[in-house]
């Protein structure tokens, strides 16, 4: 071998050794057995936008709104990201609080249909990948549309539900829909950070989870500050201004006491309210606040009232507001007067107030003592009668005219102690004179009776010849209380028989006929100016006009009308009215007894 | 149709109108079978078919003689009936002296679709057999559907399948 060949061989060996030296490190990572799986690589997480750690700049730019939008992203070299976990820590003047980890799946569609509500995983299931895989590989075909719709609906409710695996429910695997206000995407969220003090520090953390259920051991995090937002300013715009009667449970006629309120907040219009009712003397801690609600109104019933102390019937309404950032306003309070009528208590005894509005002097008058004796006798019989002995346990006769030129109609506070009112307006009013104003059921007295009826009272009416002058104004009263058609043009459709043509009331709907006792007629002429009454709405005729001369328009026309209230659970009814439409005082005593007995039974049974 | 209380009796000039806009039977797999007014119809009236629930002469709903629809169907088992039906906002009844209207309040959020059976109940088992007639009777419970309030009625529809007969 010559020197040249030896040089080439040595040179080649040298190059080979150099190459071998360089190749060995790169082969170090090659597994000795390439057929075995690689060890999993942990995912990596980053925050892609960092809030400015500058409270002054933040105050200027963002107007003291403690809500932040953060974005993050995760990578996995040997797989993919199936979920993210987020939490934050608030360091405020109140203390340090760290939220629990919230897990959101990295899924934005279900069976190739975009999800309106993203998916949060509840608790700590054994395998997040199992849950992820169920949703990520959901059947996109039309045959699975019904199931897809059910899942989307369940997510939209915001209530947790078990993952509906086809093989059956796995305990611990449950999900819930994410609020769109918080999570716009699996990598983007907006959160409100508690900011009670002048400077509030927060730490936000996020970590990715890969397809092997491995979490990033080093979550991405950031620190930032927030300032407290402004406090809402609350005002009460609508409230009762006078003493109001209120029931335990609302009815159509008495829905409760209405309050309306509002709030101003420069940072947001997202405001909810909470209200309470208490006495003047109750400390704030005993207030029973209603749940937070965006509704700017409140309806107060008797159940909301507490026992009052002095002054009587005085209560206080309180309201507060809370804005989107959790800042609660100062409490605003208002005094109002409210009273619960005794008859609202279902155990209240059945008592009748007989209001005697009959004349006591002048032509055709009936002495109040005679009226008292007539009706006392009948009421005493009703109290002994087995059908009505529990419906009438006591009665009182209130005579309206108590002296010359004086009159006293019972006030509302008296009426609400009686379950029934028997109103006697059985004689025609004179055309002129002071007695007209003293006895007429005018606006003020109609108001008292309406208030009584709207809290659940019942009215039985006896009378009246020439009723349109005795009850004035009449039309609204006729339709709303008596439930009869208001009189039309009397020149074309006379409803009032001005002749002494009325013989008796022919009973229908279970009522007996009512005949007259001519010995008690006010004069030799008899009863005149009785109007027929056509029922409207839920009114029902209970008697018919019997005309002596079979007068057209009157013979067998409806006379008395009954309107019965509707039962409202529990143990409430709206008002009932029985309108006899002619003076019972001039009828036979036994017929009046039967008529009143039927009226009481009808009122009790309702419609 | 159910019998009514004395409050709103059948017959006479009394009316409570409903508008049936569609009637479909369904089976598993969301397969739908439209049912039209009669066997010759190719569609239902686009304005719906109006019935008086209180009539006893022409529609005669009280005696279950009111036919909502008829169709031919292949032998199968149907599990659901869908009625799209709305009520008119008033009833009229004769109070012994004249006919008058009373308002019917329909809750604004009330859906027109009445799916039978109701949610939570077991599916219907309406068998369609070859060369045989299957008659499904749907009861409209008026006592429960028209709830009396102080001056009006409130409409709370209550439908259910009361019988399935095969002739």
Note the pLDDT tens digit of each residue in A595-606: 999 999 999 887
Cβ separation of B98 and A534 shorter than 8 Å? yes
Note the pLDDT tens digit of each residue in A98-113: 999 999 999 999 988 8
Residue A59 pLDDT exceeds 60: no
B150 touches chain A (CB under 8 A): yes
Question: How is residue A247 written in tokens?
Answer: 């029931």
C-alpha Rg value of chain A to the nearest Å: 42
How far apart CA A361 and CA A347 sit, in angstroms, is 41
CA distances from A253 to A340, A477, A566, A575, A600 (A): 15, 15, 11, 8, 21
Q: Which residue of A has its CA nearest to B101?
A: A537
B39 touches chain A (CB under 8 A): no
Which chain B residues are closer than 8 Å to A574 by Cβ? 150
Cβ separation of A566 and B150 shorter than 8 Å? yes
Residue A286 pLDDT exceeds 80: no
Give the pLDDT of residue A188.
93
Cβ separation of B95 and A607 shorter than 8 Å? no
Which chain A residues are closer than 8 Å to B96 by Cβ? 541, 558
Instruction: Using alpha carbons only, give the angle A158, A163, A164 rounded to the nearest 5 degrees.
Output: 115
How far apart CA A245 and CA A344 sit, in angstroms, is 10
Q: Name residue A396's beta-bridge partners.
A: A353
Question: How is residue A375 written in tokens?
Answer: 């009706």
Mean of all residue pLDDT scores within chain B: 85
Give the pLDDT of residue B30.
75
Give the pLDDT of residue B1.
43
Give the pLDDT of residue A436.
75
Which chain B residues are closer than 8 Å to A556 by Cβ? none
B119 touches chain A (CB under 8 A): no
Of A48-57, A253-262, A404-413, B158-167, the poorest mean pLDDT is in: A48-57
How far apart CA A255 and CA A455 sit, in angstroms, is 10
B95 touches chain A (CB under 8 A): yes
Question: How is residue B35 written in tokens?
Answer: 């049912």
Considering Cα of A359, then A360, then A366, then A370, what sign does the dihedral take? positive
How far apart CA A120 and CA A372 sit, in angstroms, is 78
Bond before A34 cis per omega within 30 degrees: no
Residue B47 pLDDT exceeds 60: yes
Residues A525-534 have a mean pLDDT of 83
CB nearest B149 (choices: A252, A536, A540): A252
Give the pLDDT of residue A362.
57
Three-class DSSP labels, A44-94: EEEEEECCCCCHHHHHHHHCCCCEEEEEEEEECCCCCEEEEEEEEEEECCC
pTM assigned to the model: 0.75
Residue A3 pLDDT exceeds 70: no
Give the pLDDT of residue A92.
84
Residue B2's nearest CA partner among B51, B42, B37, B54 is B54
A565 touches chain B (CB under 8 A): yes
The alpha carbon of residue B85 is apart from the nearest alpha carbon of chain A, in Å, by 24
Which chain B residues are closer than 8 Å to A537 by Cβ? 100, 102, 151
pLDDT tier, B3 (very low <50, low <70, confident <90, very high otherwise):
very low
Question: How is residue A27 written in tokens?
Answer: 């082969």
Note the pLDDT tens digit of each residue in A137-168: 998 888 888 888 889 999 999 899 999 998 88
CB nearest B151 (choices: A143, A537, A558): A537
Give the pLDDT of residue A208.
95
- Give first-to-last CA distance, chain A, whole Å: 131
How far apart CA A430 and CA A442 sit, in angstroms, is 15
Strands B15-27, B80-94: pairing kind: antiparallel
- Look up tokens 């190059």; give the residue: A15
Cβ separation of B102 and A252 shorter than 8 Å? no
Q: Which residue of A has its CA nearest to B147?
A: A566
Residue A589 pLDDT exceeds 60: yes
Non-local (6+) Cβ contacts of A575 within 8 A are A253, A453, A454, A456, A457, A458, A459, A565
The alpha carbon of residue B3 is apart from the nearest alpha carbon of chain A, in Å, by 17
CB nearest A566 (choices: B30, B96, B149): B149
Residue A120's nearest CA partner among A92, A161, A149, A150 is A161
B100 touches chain A (CB under 8 A): yes
Which chain B residues are closer than 8 Å to A253 by Cβ? 150
Size of interface A-B (CB pairs under 8 A): 35
Considering Cα of A434, then A440, then A443, then A446, what sign does the dihedral take? positive
A506 touches chain B (CB under 8 A): no
Cβ separation of A252 and B100 shorter than 8 Å? no
A289 touches chain B (CB under 8 A): no
CA distances from B21 to A224, B34, B69, B113 (A): 60, 11, 11, 10
Better pLDDT: A427 or B15: B15
Question: How is residue A202 written in tokens?
Answer: 């927060």
Cβ separation of A607 and B151 shorter than 8 Å? no
Which chain B residues are closer than 8 Å to A146 by Cβ? 30
Q: Which residue of B has its CA nearest to A559?
A: B97
Give the pLDDT of residue A27.
47
Of A11-15, A495-499, A595-599, B108-112, the poorest mean pLDDT is in: A11-15
Cβ separation of A534 and B151 shorter than 8 Å? no
Q: What percent of chain A has pLDDT over 70?
A: 85
Residue A24 pLDDT exceeds 60: no
The ipTM estimated for the assembled molecules is: 0.85
């Amino acid at each position: 071998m010559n020197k040249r060949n030896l040089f080439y061989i040595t040179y080649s060996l040298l190059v080979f050794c150099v190459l071998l030296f360089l190749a060995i490190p790169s082969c170090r990572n090659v597994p000795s057995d390439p057929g075995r799986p690689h060890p999993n690589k942990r995912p990596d997480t980053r925050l892609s936008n960092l809030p400015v750690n500058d409270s002054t700049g933040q105050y200027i730019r963002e107007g003291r709104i403690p809500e932040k939008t953060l974005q993050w992203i995760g990578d996995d070299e040997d797989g993919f990201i199936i979920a993210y976990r987020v939490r934050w820590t608030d360091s405020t003047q109140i203390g340090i609080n760290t939220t629990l980890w919230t897990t959101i799946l990295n899924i934005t569609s279900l069976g190739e249909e975009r999800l309106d509500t993203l998916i949060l995983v509840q608790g700590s299931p054994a395998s997040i990948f199992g849950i992820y895989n169920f949703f990520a590989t959901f059947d996109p075909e039309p045959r699975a549309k019904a199931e897809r719709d059910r899942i989307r609906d369940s997510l939209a409710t915001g209530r947790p539900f078990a993952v509906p695996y086809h093989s059956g429910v796995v305990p611990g695997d449950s999900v819930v829909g994410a609020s769109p206000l918080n999570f716009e995407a699996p990598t983007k969220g907006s959160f409100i950070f508690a900011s009670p003090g002048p400077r509030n520090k927060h730490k936000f953390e996020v970590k990715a989870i890969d397809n092997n259920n491995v979490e990033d051991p080093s979550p991405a995090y950031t620190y930032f500050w927030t300032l407290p937002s402004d406090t809402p300013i609350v005002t009460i715009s609508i409230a009762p201004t006078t003493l109001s009667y209120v029931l335990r449970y609302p009815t159509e006629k008495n829905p409760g006491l209405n309050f309306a309120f509002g709030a101003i907040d420069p940072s947001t219009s997202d405001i909810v309210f909470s209200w309470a009712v208490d006495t003047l003397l109750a400390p704030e801690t005993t207030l029973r606040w209603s749940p937070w609600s965006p509704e700017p109104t409140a309806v107060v019933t008797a159940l909301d009232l507490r026992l009052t102390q002095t002054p009587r019937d005085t209560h206080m309404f309180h309201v507060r507001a809370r804005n989107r950032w959790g800042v609660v306003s100062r409490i605003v309070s208002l005094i109002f007067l409210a009273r619960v009528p005794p008859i609202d208590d279902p155990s209240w005894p059945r008592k009748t107030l007989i209001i005697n509005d009959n004349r006591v002097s002048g032509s055709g008058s009936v002495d109040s003592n005679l009226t008292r004796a007539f009706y006392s006798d009948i009421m005493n019989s009703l109290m002994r009668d087995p059908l009505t002995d529990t419906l009438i346990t006591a009665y009182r006769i209130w005579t309206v005219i108590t002296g010359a030129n004086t009159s006293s109609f019972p006030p509302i506070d008296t009426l609400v102690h009686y379950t029934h009112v028997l109103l006697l307006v059985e004689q025609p009013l004179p055309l002129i004179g002071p007695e007209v104003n003293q006895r007429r059921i005018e606006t003020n007295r109609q108001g008292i009776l309406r208030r009584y009826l709207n809290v659940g009272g019942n009215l039985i009416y006896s009378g009246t010849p020439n009723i349109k002058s005795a009850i004035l104004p009449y039309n609204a009263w006729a339709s709303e209380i008596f439930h009869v058609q208001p009189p039309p043009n009397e020149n074309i459709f006379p409803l009032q028989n001005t002749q002494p043509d009325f013989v008796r009331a022919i009973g229908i709907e279970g009522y007996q006929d009512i005949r007259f006792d001519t010995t008690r007629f006010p004069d030799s002429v008899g009863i005149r100016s009785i109007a027929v009454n056509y029922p409207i709405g839920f009114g029902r005729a209970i008697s018919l006009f019997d005309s002596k001369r079979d007068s057209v328009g009157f013979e067998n026309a409806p006379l008395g009308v009954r309107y019965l209230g509707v039962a409202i659970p529990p143990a409430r009814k709206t008002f009932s009215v029985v309108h006899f439409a002619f003076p019972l005082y001039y009828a036979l005593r036994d017929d009046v007894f039967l008529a009143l007995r039927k009226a009481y039974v009808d009122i009790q049974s309702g419609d | 149709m159910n019998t009514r209380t004395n409050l709103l009796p059948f017959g006479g000039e009394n009316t409570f109108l409903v508008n049936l806009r569609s009637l479909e039977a369904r089976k598993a797999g969301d397969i739908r079978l439209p049912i039209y007014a009669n066997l010759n119809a190719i569609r239902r009236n686009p304005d719906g078919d109006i019935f008086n629930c209180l009539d006893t002469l022409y529609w005669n709903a009280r005696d279950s003689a009111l036919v909502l629809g008829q169709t031919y169907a292949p032998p199968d088992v149907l599990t659901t009936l869908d009625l799209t039906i709305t009520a008119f906002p008033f009833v009229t009844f004769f109070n012994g002296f004249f006919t008058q209207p009373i308002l019917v309040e329909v809750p604004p959020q009330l859906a027109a679709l009445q799916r039978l059976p109701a949610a939570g109940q077991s599916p219907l088992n309406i068998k369609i057999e070859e060369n045989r007639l299957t008659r499904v009777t749907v009861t409209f419970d008026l006592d429960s559907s028209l709830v009396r309030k102080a001056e009006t009625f409130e409409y709370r529809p209550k439908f259910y399948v009361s019988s399935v007969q095969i002739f």
